[in-house]
């Protein structure tokens, strides 16, 4: 019994080498973007996908980015690239964007940190290390601009909405799976100093479960930000309400953001969006020693349905 308790305690308080995803981001970068919905960086597109993914996979086009503003692999993802404009082909956006490869241009989108496409084994990604060469359109990465809303002078805001091709919607996961998936996740966090720079280190198991369709009840009036709105919702699942409220964010200039103007407390809505780590909470809780906490996440809302 003592041995079992020791093993349990070890996994609760110590980040295990078996955990497969670890990223170190500069504290200055995290603090700069704590409350941002949209960020703008100077970046170089590299190995843009040859075609958009099909609707059954998410309809995105992958746009790998290299940047000195965030010095780890970054993946830009354009929503509805397989379906917009109407009657488009899977290669339309790839052909349009390929000439931008190798150029340093402005890239704008939602900064999303998610422990999904980590390097194999227990290799970490750190802004302190040289950035490896990309060899395909999905390099190992845990940082995204997702959705990517602008690349150079090309805007994707009108495409940043619920994902659909013709009569076929992309739904992702439903709220009933939250208790058995994301709500069971734990991450370990700490502040690390190296060569005069302080980093926020995040370590945990690989995490998929990106896209969600959630039945929810609005719990707060949407707060206006410079780049969108923020409000709290209570997620409904088969056993009632999720134990804690979920923070929802909308992107300025999108239909979902405009919909927040008419939201009232206790409204029942269906939200479609993508999850990201809550960097504000992680930064606030990270100390000089490893600390294991429930994985904090929030929803980037792409569609609000009544």
pLDDT digits (tens, 9 = 90+) for 73-85: 999 999 999 999 9
Whether residue 77 sits in one domain with residue 58? yes
Decide which of 114, 137, 168 is a domain's last residue: 168
Same structural domain, 116 and 214: no
For residue 240, give its domain range: 173-305
Q: What count of residues does the chain have?
A: 306
- Nearest-angstrom CA–CA distance, 230 and 242: 19
202 and 291 housed in the same domain: yes
How do residues 224-281 score in pLDDT, each as one tens digit? 999 999 999 999 987 788 878 999 999 999 999 999 999 999 999 999 999 999 999 9
Last residue in a domain, options 168, 201, 226 = 168
pLDDT attached to residue 19: 53
Last residue of a domain, one of 168, 197, 230: 168
Stated as kind and residue range, the H or E segment containing 44 is strand 38-45
Closest CA to 109 of 34, 59, 160, 184: 160
Contact by Cβ (8 Å): 213, 39? no
Mean pLDDT, residues 33-53 = 97
Average of per-residue pLDDT values in the chain: 93
For residue 14, what pLDDT band results from cuts at 50, 70 and 90?
very low
Same-domain pairing of 106 and 182 = no
> What number of other Cβ atoms are within 10 A of residue 117's Cβ?
17
* Structure token digits, residue 16: 């295990």
């Amino acid at each position: 019994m003592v041995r079992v308790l020791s093993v349990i305690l070890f996994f609760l308080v110590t980040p295990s080498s078996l955990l497969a995803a670890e990223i170190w981001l500069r504290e200055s970068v995290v603090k700069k973007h704590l409350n941002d919905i949209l960020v703008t960086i100077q970046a170089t597109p590299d190995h843009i996908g040859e075609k958009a993914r099909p609707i059954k996979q998410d309809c995105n086009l992958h746009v790998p980015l290299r940047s000195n503003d965030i010095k780890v692999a970054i993946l830009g993802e354009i929503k509805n690239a397989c379906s917009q404009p109407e009657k488009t082909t899977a290669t339309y956006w790839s052909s349009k964007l390929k000439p931008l490869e190798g150029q340093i241009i402005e890239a704008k989108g939602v900064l999303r940190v998610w422990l999904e496409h980590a390097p194999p084994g227990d290799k970490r990604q750190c802004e302190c290390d040289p950035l490896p060469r990309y060899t395909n359109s999905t390099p190992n990465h845990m940082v995204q601009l997702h959705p990517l809303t602008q690349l150079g002078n090309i805007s994707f805001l009108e495409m940043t909405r619920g994902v659909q091709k013709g009569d076929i919607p992309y739904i992702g996961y439903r709220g009933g799976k939250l208790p058995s998936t994301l709500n069971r996740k734990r991450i370990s966090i700490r502040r690390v100093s190296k060569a005069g720079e302080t980093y926020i280190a995040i370590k945990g198991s690989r995490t998929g479960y990106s896209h969600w369709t959630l039945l929810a009840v609005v719990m707060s009036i949407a707060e206006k930000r410079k780049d969108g709105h923020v409000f709290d919702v209570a997620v409904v699942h088969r056993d009632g309400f999720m134990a804690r409220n979920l923070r929802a964010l909308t992107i300025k200039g999108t239909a979902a953001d405009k919909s927040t103007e008419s939201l009232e407390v206790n409204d029942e809505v269906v939200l479609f969006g993508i999850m990201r780590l809550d960097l504000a909470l992680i930064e606030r809780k990270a100390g000089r020693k490893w600390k294991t906490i429930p994985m904090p996440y929030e929803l980037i809302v792409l569609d609000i349905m009544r």
